[in-house]
Amino acid sequence: EKGGYDYFMLKEIAEQPKAVADTLLGRIDASGSLTLDEVRIPGSVLREVDKVVIVACGTAFHAGLIAKYAIEHWTRIPCEVELASEFRYRDPILDPGTLVIAISQSGETMDTLMALRHAREQGSKVLAICNTNGSTIPRESDAVLYTHAGPEVAVASTKAFLTQLVACYLVALYLGQVRGTKWGDEIHAVVRDLAKIADQVERVLETMEPVRELARSLADKDTVLFLGRHVGYPVALEGALKLKELAYMHAEGFAAGELKHGPIALIEDDLPVVVVVPSPRGRSVLHDKIVSNIQEIRARGARTIVIAEEGDETVVPYADHLIRVPATPTLLQPLVATVPLQVFACELATARGNEVDQPRNLAKSVTVE
């Protein structure tokens, strides 16, 4: 049942190109328009939405953090993202103009369920993004967009995360389409780029041997830090979460711009720091800032592990280890940049003798608060 792989996690990592393609399937027509008939919330309601609130836990929360950038950029609707466990207890401001998006692989996470119940009680519409047919969260929501990752068995989420991202991009683009936001051409360009992503993820998977080797060489380390900016920041958080849960190492993700506000004090000789570098095309300010962050930490002794786009030569002098990912638009980069971090965490867990599919103290779905 593990399809020849030692662990479900390895199998699920390898299934990501298909999971991504399946989640896109049938949702974009030949003209490049989105056909999300499943989203049964009427266009008239979606046109009135004045705020989007995303609630989720763990890895699904990281998908939500990335979705915020896409939703705000493509639709200009303000978007908040909140941990489901925090949401309900602060008496959030919700009304019928708020669209709440609940993201959950299992569809059974209690905190996420309680958050959406609370939102519906306040009159907000809830759209679930979920991987499990007929589970509680989609049943209790106004509409659901299913991710088509197939069953995810390993406790650490991999393919579900990538498909959550795809679903979030689809929702963002759909909102833009329904509301006729000014992004016509940009939406079509993004749709074309999304169609290429499955192949690009496949290419990343084909180049992972050096990442595994690097992971094995770090098995005795205590700490790994992760830095990113913009959508690379939630990718850094996700890389750190994977490493905590699988390798039981101290791992933290930071927004690179926060370095000098504290975290840079942690840098010491030979400390591994993974840096997610955005494309040098497009938002080049972001790129240049992170290159100087890499220089700053390296000058203080960090061992830099740099994830950068193919052809980005500016990072080469400052990267002790360089992991290449295919060129994508900045907003879509998490789909390719997360994959090496999954492989990295999985290999470190194996090297440290940990149980990959069943990390200690964790359950696949958390049905208590």
Task: Give the separation between CA 304 and CA 286, rounded to whole angstroms.
Answer: 18
- End-to-end Cα spacing for the chain: 32
State the DSSP H helix or E strand holding residue 8, giving kind and residue range, or none if neither: helix 8-14
CB-nearer residue toward ligand F6R: 104 or 279: 104
Q: Cβ 279 to ligand F6R, closest distance in Å?
A: 26
Listed ranges 6-14, 98-106, 116-124, 350-358: which one lies at the site for ligand F6R (CB under 6 A)? 98-106
Q: What residues numbered 240-269 form the site for ligand F6R, per CB under 6 A?
A: 241, 245
Find the binder of ligand F6R among 59, 141, 279, 342 (CB under 6 A). Answer: 59
- Smallest separation, CB 344 to ligand F6R (Å): 14
Tell me how many degrees the CA angle 216-267-226 measures, rounded to the nearest 5: 55
**Least separation, in Å, of the C-beta of 40 and ligand F6R?**
22
- For ligand F6R, the closer of residues 242 and 298 by Cβ is 242
Among residues 58, 232, 263, 280, the one that binds ligand F6R under rule CB under 6 A: 58
Could you tell me the sign of the dihedral formed by the alpha carbons of 127, 128, 133, 137, in that order?
A: negative
109 forms part of the interface with ligand F6R (CB under 6 A): yes
Decide: is 79 part of the binding site for ligand F6R (CB under 6 A).
Answer: no
Taking the C-alpha atoms of residue 64 and residue 204, their distance in angstroms, rounded to an integer, is 23
Structure letter (DSSP) for residue 229: -
- Is position 157 an interface residue for ligand F6R (rule: CB under 6 A)? yes
- Which residue out of 18, 221, 244, 364 is catalytically annotated? 364
Of 141 and 157, nearer to ligand F6R (C-beta) is 157
Query: Of the candidates 104, 141, 177, 330, which one interacts with ligand F6R according to CB under 6 A?
Result: 104
The structure tokens listed for 112 are: 């996420």
Among 9, 36, 57, 306, binds ligand F6R (CB under 6 A): 57
Distance between CA 325 and CA 308 in Å, rounded?
6
Write the CB contacts of 126 (distance below 8 Å, at least 6 apart in sequence).
99, 100, 101, 102, 116, 119, 120, 140, 141, 142, 143
* Residue 60 interacting with ligand F6R (CB under 6 A): yes
Q: Using CB under 6 A, which of the segments 36-44, 53-61, 179-187, 283-291 binds ligand F6R?
A: 53-61
Work out which of 23, 85, 98, 112 binds ligand F6R, going by CB under 6 A. Answer: 112
- Degrees to nearest 5, angle at CA 68 with 290 and 203: 60
**Is there a contact between 348 and 221 (Cβ–Cβ < 8 Å)?**
no
The CA distance from 152 to 149, in Å, is 7
Residue nearest to ligand F6R (CB): 58
Question: Using the rule CB under 6 A, which residue among 105, 136, 141, 147 binds ligand F6R?
Answer: 105
> With CB under 6 A as the contact rule, which of the stretches 44-52, 106-114, 210-218, 259-267 interacts with ligand F6R?
106-114
**Cβ contact 131:149 at 8 Å:** yes
Beta strand 125-130 pairing with 143-146: parallel
Least Å from the CB of residue 342 to ligand F6R: 9
Q: CB of 119 within 8 A of CB of 147?
A: no
**Distance in angstroms (rounded) separating the CA atoms of residues 129 and 165:** 10
For position 350 contacting ligand F6R by CB under 6 A, the verdict is no
Nearer to ligand F6R, 56 or 215 (CB): 56
Contact 264, 364 (CB under 8 A): no
Q: Would you call 364 a catalytic residue per the annotation?
A: yes
The smaller minimum CB distance to ligand F6R, of residues 246 and 308, is found at: 246
Q: Of 65 and 241, which CB lies nearer to ligand F6R in the complex structure?
A: 241
Contacts with ligand F6R, residue ranges (CB under 6 A): 57-60, 104-106, 109, 112, 156-157, 241, 245, 365-366
Instruction: Give the residue numbers annotated as catalytic, written as ranges.
Output: 364
